[in-house]
């Protein structure tokens, strides 16, 4: 387990997934990154500032949250609403494999994630 309490290999898998979402030649326009917290990972779409007066910080727009329950060893998928609140995604059961959640976010066709 990593210092966060999350399985290190799963964290590495999600970080690699995020890095693979955008080709290198486009990363000056858009990036997909993973925010790592003690009990969850948040996949974020990041965009550069669109106005100079807003400063140099990129905007971070949460796409999905992957929550880990150490006691059960299960990952659970959450979706984000228009108010940036997360809700359990009930169309996919919790899984011991974080890859199952990534595959669903990537391939389900549900516009709740990638619009």
Integer Cα distance of 17 and 113 in angstroms:
15
DSSP summary character for residue 73: T
- For residues 6 and 68, the answer to whether their CB atoms sit within 8 Å is yes
In this prediction, the residues of the chain whose per-residue pLDDT falls under 50 are 1-2
3-state SS assignment for residue 15: helix
- For residues 5 and 20, the answer to whether their CB atoms sit within 8 Å is no
Rg of the chain over all Cα atoms, to the nearest angstrom = 15
Residue 2: per-residue pLDDT = 47
DSSP summary character for residue 50: S
Query: Please, what sign has the CA dihedral across residues 15, 21, 26, 31?
Result: negative
Residue 57: per-residue pLDDT = 86
3-state SS assignment for residue 67: strand
Neighbours of 99 (CB within 10 A): 13
Q: Which pTM was predicted?
A: 0.90
Residue 31: per-residue pLDDT = 96
Residue 1: per-residue pLDDT = 45
Q: Residue ranges per domain, the chain?
A: 8-114
């Amino acid at each position: 387990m990593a210092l966060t309490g999350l399985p290190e290999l799963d964290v590495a898998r999600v970080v690699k997934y995020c890095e693979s979402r955008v080709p290198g030649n486009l990363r000056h326009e858009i990036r997909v990154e993973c925010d790592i917290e003690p009990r969850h990972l948040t996949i974020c779409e990041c965009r550069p500032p669109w106005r100079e007066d807003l400063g140099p910080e990129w905007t971070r727009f949460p796409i999905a949250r992957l929550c880990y329950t150490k006691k059960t060893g299960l990952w659970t998928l959450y979706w984000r609403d228009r108010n940036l609140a997360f809700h359990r995604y009930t169309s996919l059961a919790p899984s011991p494999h974080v890859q199952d959640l990534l595959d669903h976010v990537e391939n389900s066709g549900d516009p709740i994630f990638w619009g």
